[in-house]
Amino acid sequence: MPLVRHHITQNVGPQEIRFDYASIDNATNTSPRKPEVWIYQYRNGPERPWNSFLCFTETEFIHNDFEVMNFYTSKSPDSFQTVTPVVVKFLREDNEEGVGEIYGKLMLVGGDVKENLGGKTRVIRSCNSEPERLKALQEFFGMVFTEEEQAGIRGRVSELLPK
């Protein structure tokens, strides 16, 4: 996808994506002209409103910057990525050349396995414990965990405990 303001790209199903270049409302800069950032946006159909998902600047980051960002993301209780495992698998239909179009995706968010086949997301399984989630990860995503890896999940904030 080109980094061009308002260039619309077709995503999976009816979803469209684009970049905007604008200031963001909750920026803390108090200057009269707030700095502009690139904003990744999506909408789930041509008549639907655009949703802003994330933003980024054109500032160069070095290795140490990424270490600090990764530390925060993996340790802060305010980051959903600390407590909520997220897995995404894109579904592709193979053609004669072997590489086909993406027609949907499977997602695991927390304890829910979701499916989006082009426009609507639906929950296809809700896991209520870590063993159930590990079984779903194997069944839907082909991910198999050793006993040692499973033991590494136990006691962590991301462990799915029975309700």
The pLDDT assigned to 78 comes to: 85
Q: What is the pLDDT of residue 29?
A: 76
Q: Is there a domain that residue 110 lies in? A: yes
Give dist(CA 81, CA 155) in Å, integer.
16
- pLDDT category of residue 72 using cuts at 50, 70 and 90: confident
The domain boundary, picked from 41, 56, 71, lies at: 56
pLDDT tens-digit profile of 130-155?
Answer: 999 999 999 999 999 999 999 999 99
What confidence score (pLDDT) does residue 18 get? Answer: 97
Strand order in the sheet with 9-10: 9-10, 16-22, 37-43, 51-56
Amino acid at 21: Y
Q: How many domains does the chain have?
A: 2
| pTM of the shown model | 0.71
CA atoms within 13 A on the CB side of 12: 18
Q: Are residues 32 and 93 in the same domain?
A: no
92 and 45 assigned to the same domain = no
> What confidence tens digit (pLDDT) does each residue in 88-139 have?
999 988 777 777 788 889 999 999 999 998 778 999 999 999 999 999 999 9
Cα–Cα distance, 87 to 162 (Å, whole number): 20
Q: Which domain holds residue 20?
A: 9-56
Q: Residue 143: what pLDDT?
A: 98
